[in-house]
Structure 1
């Protein structure tokens, strides 16, 4: 999957800065020239007025003119000169102007805008965030700053954050009854953020912006033109290509009246036509337009510029569609080096250093596309190792760059979106590594590389979050500091929950504004931690992954690891034992996902006749042959495989049905890296806490669980009999307040016998039900669990569907179990579907009885296997429906 940058340059051109108050007719004339895009004339006009101000010792006014001159340079395309001019003005401000803070903020906004124009979003954000605190709250200047921050965040892939900043800017402008042009800017930028995922919704915002701009046709010609382009792209997303081309005609007509000769806006129209013709499948015409646009961009910018890099990339895409893979790869290579401002291309196979780039996302797209082109060139044309090695090297660089980009993504939704791209990179990396392991003399090297690609595809966002938590602990950050972070996260969670409820538009706006403020405070707080505690920063961004040899060193002779990667057409199975490592490639066949879902449903709805043939077929696909010595298998699932219990796979159907659980114990984890992470970072009290609300409000639509009271009573007896401390909270006492208070003591075992619900569309609404109390309804939401501190060796959720959630490509299941893992649970026992109350109770009691017989053991896997086998061999609960859903995440 390529990142789509068809709209990336539009938003850059629509950034407008603070307009300094006119104090004379001359300034008014200069402002008018600036609005009319006559930047050279405006520059001269501001310069003349500035000289007069300086002669009269009106230094504030002199500074204002100089900053407008810098804006003229930036708008004219002389960005470096404009940035340098604004930075020189900052030095003048500090030496000569009384209101240093305010004027410096305005100068930083000019510098930030300059960096936006050349795609240096990281530097733009840095300057704009420095400016923001010095601007007066609720003013149009602050709204302008927020808008530009939103633009920069959108450019670097932080869509959620960008939308927040644009909505905040629009809110301020509405309250201030801002000019139509400013309201148009906000609506336009909100439309841009929504364009890719919600093109119809984006057109509504673009048309709204157009209405605002058309209130002054002459003054807003440039913005109207850009709005036409945005509507064109939204129309193209909806396959309305003729409408898209007509809007580009309108845009081109406006630029013809404004710009004489070559201009970046004219080149953009030409390139946009090429992109739309490519979408139509008219590749020859598309190539003509892209090459015309490239020629104009090169005349304007030279070889090093984001516009040039983007156009080379688009040319490469056309060649790729035409199956001219060599020309495609060469175009992508030119795109890569046009995006690097201090490196030069040697040949097609030269590799860049991933540093000093204009735009990370364009660079990632170009590297990924080059890899695909070289891969196709190898298999369809040359069969030369140089080409396939070149593809693999490009994928390795993609992986490196993704790690860097991930550190700039702030919201989890944007991180997960990047994981989808990473999964595509990793699949191709695995495939090529396996191919090279079979066709070169470096088999071990390439197999280890394949495992590394697979490992990077697993729960990278979760691993990063857990690393962040551990880094805070080991970096010695005081509890008082962490308490501030906890309070901010608690308030953010509350506001996010409220925004998911049915509330009035007025309340929704108020909650959004509060959420924006709290999230901004949290980001600033974390940034301060990174500065003040260097060890925290170092540990937080540690991306070292577990290797095959490290995993093998931890395995016993009777243990096996099976790690899965579900590709588009193939299934990759990594089989790792103490002394052996194999990578198997299996064709998924038709309707693989449907078969997995069918197996799950057949168990869940007790359709044994349908279940056995599907389960047997999946056993053949998923489980490689293993030694009879193996007694325990650890599964690292991927995608939809996270929703089924491998224990229930049928290994034999005659003379009787035999399940995998009858041969080996099974446990699960998110990745090898998380599996091997050191346990016991926090101290617990060695006791057990058992919780059972028993009765549930009818408003929840949940049945009472009378067997859970007996369940916790029996489990308590088991712990008492082994002289281990245990506490129970049942009935009305099993409420949220008591639960959170008890957690402060840090229990070794945490057992919740209650209902749980997973919301796959909104994972943050997934919840565990406790007893209501006062204004608490008893819902412990997923977002709240993330903010808990759980030091338990084992958390058992004797509840419904607590192991499920939203499946995210490259991340696995997003739900309650993930939240508990993040909160510190070392091992988890969760369920994959709703199970009979009494059978659940019996299994849990049996599990703890098995475990406490050898309470010195640190593992839980074989204790759960024994409990399941007892049920399987019973007359009443032998069907997989009863014993299969409970799975152990951990050891």
Structure 2
């Protein structure tokens, strides 16, 4: 953009000049020059206008590097100034001419002369006390020249002065430009602390003020590559992900995908990394990126244990590198050696690591690669020589990168792991402490009991690795020495790690990746919880007992609370039209995701590629729509502050006085049972031995036996015997606390989802003694209730689809899902249901997927009487089967992951019908994954079956459940009473838990209002009663009146 003092704009700015200015902004330089020439040819133009336009032309020729035409403009400007001496006396014009000449000298690489000319121009302006935008531009340009000449200190001083003047004139866009230049100097000087600080300032400005897109892209790209180099792959991913929203010539879409693939790969999220690698079109990569693409794809293949493919790509890179020298050969040799090491081919690994060391010795700049080679060689040898190799690797890294660097942290962490595996715990502990010092800029303590505050961390990955192994080292030393400080330090370290993981999970950009990271970090939460328990047992300090509960809740609720808040924002704060548009896009994404999951990742068919292309386009549409929300509603993704976990006091006050929570956590060979009653916490330790494991397995087998075994008294006797044993092991420790209480179980997924109500105590099923419900976690249930829309009215929606696969054409894509689905007893179920509740019903051909999507979010109770298809390997691709249609987007097969975009506001969702999985009880994680989708969608509670139930028992229990809800019982008590009715009316064989215990309530158990049908007979009796009352009152009043009248008349007569 052209910069001129206000008075310099002259008296006559023609239309053609205005159009040329606009074309200049659009970077249409040739057209702009044509219009400028047209303006100059105007005979009415004065010398000031001619001077101004010539300056503009000179600026364009400088931008396009046209040296000859730039010089022509300089000659013309000099002639004008000689012709009109009054111009030469003006500080603005005189300095600007020197500035233009200086820039022209830069074009011909005469940097010293350019520096002198621009320096004179700045001096003239400062003497005249002119500190405007143009002065700042000149200072910035002089800083650029000094940076080119490697005069970094002078350059930094000039950049800081330019920023000062830009700030005075509120030119934040140009401040970002200068910050990028100044940060580049620190990058060249390897001063990464100042480099990052300047980029952080740039990000703050970008978030507050309008900034040119090119500068935004450069800032995010620089921060992404910085974090990538620092091994902070989470932060790298975050900034590369932001770049997806920009169209920019400087950074291609393929580059962004490549960097996203790299950062997600290093995060350990191979699923997402693989997706990005598959999206990359190798043909669109330049030779450097293509080489790196092959290089990192080889690494990805190692993670998938496809060592053959990894070696293929690495050797391809190696042969290509001999010709082109794109990556140091020692790096590729190291990678090949590492791949062989992972395959336990130690001879081949040693051969390539020695080759790499040889090449490192021939290079002056490969100390870090050399250090990794020595580390790997030490692992291969695994003998006394290894210790010397580890020490040398550490010294080399410090020499190369200094103490405060993520690479130093990586080497110390890896040598520590090698020593830890060899049980050299003391030395390993010192290594992990040094790794923490290296990755935390504010931490310098070598005292192994102390930990960093983690406020200024260079690499989360290396921090997490060091904290994890440091905690394990401290535990091992405690078990060897029985020294309490080591145990407490081990707990505090594990607690710090779990807190850092939780922070990362809540801010991680992809929900799939959040769950992936949580699943792979579960061990860290479990260790922290168990160590807290051990500290409590050893010290009797209640603080550690309380910490065990807090950490148990952290591990379960890290993702869902934040996700539910974001859903609440979009539901309550986005306009109806925008919400509908976003909803349709998300449904399309969910549908295509489900279709793509039907194909194997290796399937490169034309259909698969077409679906991926459609998915990418929909995701782009969603990104743009969310960006538009930012301007209208504020930042969509950060509208809510990060969800705050409940405090200990809030956790123990969660249950009502008549409730008690039993939360199970599996910690290696121990199950910790946290029993929470109003205001109190009790903790019990249960041994998870081989007998308990076997009993759990047998119990599941007898709960859902083969049809042949089901109708045998012996089977019933066996399942009750096992149920009694499990009660004694899992509930008896807390028996004195649970008397007369409603039981809320927080299941341990690794144990499998067990219907506790079928356990046996004193010859009675637990359901006969207590109402029972299940929750994902206390935090999640609390957040779900908090996000409830209080304006939600009480109404009910029911779906009863029909299944007849014979009517479906073979070309129908979803036909395979409907083959074998039996018809459900809708007639009996609907008759029973409609006698008890008032609901809007979609029957048979009207019970479509499309109708469900359009209506589900408007009801407080949703009843779905349908088949579900459970995928035991990936529960997110489990399906609900509505009436099939020919609509490809709403074909009737509804993936469970499609539920989330619906944004329900339901107090209760009932899945009545049959699941058609493999006939076995759903695993613990399976049932919670199924329920999680409805929780995320906004449902407070879900009633569903754990296995394929007998249809008649399902109808009976459902009917009773609604009956007791209408009578005012809460959901858990209503389900209990309905099950008791079933048991009381069933014969001996049908009292088997298979028929009734599979129906479970997950989520909130509070009372809800159920709409009841209008009873016209009752209304008629009420009306007749009112009429009768009116008639009786009227007769009474008439009789009273007659009596009074007669008495008056009698008195009157007697008086006469």
Match of 1:670 in 2: 776
Query: Cα distance, 1:136 vs. partner?
Result: 5.1
Match of 1:828 in 2: 942
Query: Cα distance, 1:397 vs. partner?
Result: 1.1
Residue correspondence of structure 1 range 782-821 to structure 2 within 5 A: 782-801=896-915, 813-821=927-935
Residue correspondence of structure 1 range 340-739 to structure 2 within 5 A: 340-345=440-445, 347-381=447-481, 383-443=482-542, 445-473=543-571, 476-502=573-599, 505-519=605-619, 522=622, 540-578=640-678, 580-590=680-690, 592-605=692-705, 606=710, 607-623=715-731, 624-627=733-736, 629-652=739-762, 657-677=763-783, 678=785, 680-681=788-789, 683-697=791-805, 699=815, 700-719=818-837, 725-739=838-852
The correspondence for 2:870, drawn from 725, 735, 758, is 758
Query: Cα distance, 1:269 vs. partner?
Result: 1.5
The correspondence for 1:152, drawn from 227, 238, 263, is 263
Q: Is the 8 A contact 1:767 1:781 kept in 2?
A: yes
SS of the aligned residue for 2:991 comes to coil
SS of the aligned residue for 2:664 comes to strand
Change (3 A) 1:224 1:708: farther
Gaps of 5+ in 1: 1-22, 24-47, 720-724
Query: Cα distance, 1:784 vs. partner?
Result: 1.2
- Structure 2: how far apart are the matches of 1:658 and 1:806? 25
- Structure 2: how far apart are the matches of 1:516 and 1:67? 42
Change (3 A) 1:530 1:310: farther
- Structure 1: how far apart are the matches of 2:730 and 2:223? 56
Match of 2:21 in 1: none
Match of 2:296 in 1: 189
Gaps of 5+ in 2: 1-64, 66-104, 116-139, 151-180, 807-814, 1006-1056
Change (3 A) 1:498 1:73: farther
Cα deviations across residues 489-545 of structure 1 (Å, max 9, x unaligned)?
A: 223212212212347523323433443454466467657767976686666453433
Change (3 A) 1:609 1:183: farther
Of the structure 1 ranges 493-502 and 540-549, higher mean CA displacement relative to structure 2 is found in: 540-549
Query: Cα distance, 1:297 vs. partner?
Result: 0.5
Change (3 A) 1:285 1:405: farther
Matching of residue 266 in structure 1 with residue 370 in structure 2: yes
Q: Is the 8 A contact 1:83 1:111 kept in 2?
A: no
Match of 2:130 in 1: none
- Structure 2: how far apart are the matches of 1:101 and 1:770? 47
The correspondence for 1:252, drawn from 333, 354, 357, is 357
- Structure 2: how far apart are the matches of 1:442 and 1:86? 46
Give the alignment's TM-score, normalised by structure 1: 0.81
Q: Is the 8 A contact 1:850 1:867 kept in 2?
A: yes
SS of the aligned residue for 1:815 comes to helix
- Structure 2: how far apart are the matches of 1:760 and 1:505? 26
Query: Cα distance, 1:67 vs. partner?
Result: 9.6
Match of 1:229 in 2: 334
Of the structure 1 ranges 727-736 and 284-293, higher mean CA displacement relative to structure 2 is found in: 284-293
Change (3 A) 1:66 1:827: same
Match of 2:980 in 1: 869
Query: Cα distance, 1:733 vs. partner?
Result: 1.3
Matching of residue 118 in structure 1 with residue 227 in structure 2: no
Change (3 A) 1:681 1:588: same
The correspondence for 2:965, drawn from 845, 851, 874, is 851
Query: Cα distance, 1:562 vs. partner?
Result: 0.5
- Structure 1 or 2: larger helix share? 2
Residue correspondence of structure 1 range 129-168 to structure 2 within 5 A: 141-168=252-279
SS of the aligned residue for 2:689 comes to coil
Of the structure 1 ranges 335-344 and 118-127, higher mean CA displacement relative to structure 2 is found in: 118-127
Q: Is the 8 A contact 1:735 1:773 kept in 2?
A: yes
- Structure 1: how far apart are the matches of 2:704 and 2:682? 33
Of the structure 1 ranges 185-194 and 797-806, higher mean CA displacement relative to structure 2 is found in: 797-806
Change (3 A) 1:142 1:885: closer
SS of the aligned residue for 1:877 comes to helix
- Structure 2: how far apart are the matches of 1:860 and 1:72? 63
Q: Is the 8 A contact 1:689 1:727 kept in 2?
A: yes
SS of the aligned residue for 1:426 comes to helix
Change (3 A) 1:215 1:338: closer
- Structure 2: how far apart are the matches of 1:842 and 1:648? 18
SS of the aligned residue for 1:705 comes to coil
- Structure 2: how far apart are the matches of 1:558 and 1:754? 34
Q: Is the 8 A contact 1:108 1:130 kept in 2?
A: yes
Query: Cα distance, 1:836 vs. partner?
Result: 1.3
Structure number with bigger Rg = 2
- Structure 2: how far apart are the matches of 1:438 and 1:123? 39
Of the structure 1 ranges 754-763 and 183-192, higher mean CA displacement relative to structure 2 is found in: 183-192
Query: Cα distance, 1:167 vs. partner?
Result: 3.2
SS of the aligned residue for 1:674 comes to helix
- Structure 2: how far apart are the matches of 1:488 and 1:366? 42
The correspondence for 1:52, drawn from 98, 103, 109, is 109
Query: Cα distance, 1:866 vs. partner?
Result: 1.2
SS of the aligned residue for 1:575 comes to strand
Residue correspondence of structure 1 range 216-365 to structure 2 within 5 A: 217-220=322-325, 222=327, 224-257=329-362, 259-260=363-364, 263-277=367-381, 282=382, 284-345=384-445, 347-365=447-465
Query: Cα distance, 1:112 vs. partner?
Result: 4.4
For the aligned residues, what is the CA RMSD?
A: 3.9
Change (3 A) 1:416 1:84: closer
Match of 1:26 in 2: none
- Structure 2: how far apart are the matches of 1:81 and 1:461? 32
Structure with the greater relative contact order (CA < 8 A, sep ≥ 6): 1 or 2? Answer: 1
Cα deviations across residues 439-497 of structure 1 (Å, max 9, x unaligned)?
A: 33522x222111101111224323332232134456x3444544454344223212212
Aligned residues: 808
Change (3 A) 1:883 1:134: closer
Query: Cα distance, 1:756 vs. partner?
Result: 0.7
- Structure 2: how far apart are the matches of 1:330 and 1:717? 73
- Structure 1: how far apart are the matches of 2:834 and 2:592? 38
Change (3 A) 1:807 1:195: farther
Q: Is the 8 A contact 2:561 2:643 kept in 1?
A: no
Change (3 A) 1:180 1:608: farther
Query: Cα distance, 1:316 vs. partner?
Result: 2.0
Change (3 A) 1:455 1:629: same
Of the structure 1 ranges 105-114 and 404-413, higher mean CA displacement relative to structure 2 is found in: 105-114
Change (3 A) 1:237 1:618: farther
- Structure 2: how far apart are the matches of 1:423 and 1:164? 24
- Structure 2: how far apart are the matches of 1:820 and 1:81? 45
Query: Cα distance, 1:670 vs. partner?
Result: 0.3
Change (3 A) 1:536 1:550: farther
Match of 2:20 in 1: none
- Structure 2: how far apart are the matches of 1:582 and 1:81? 48
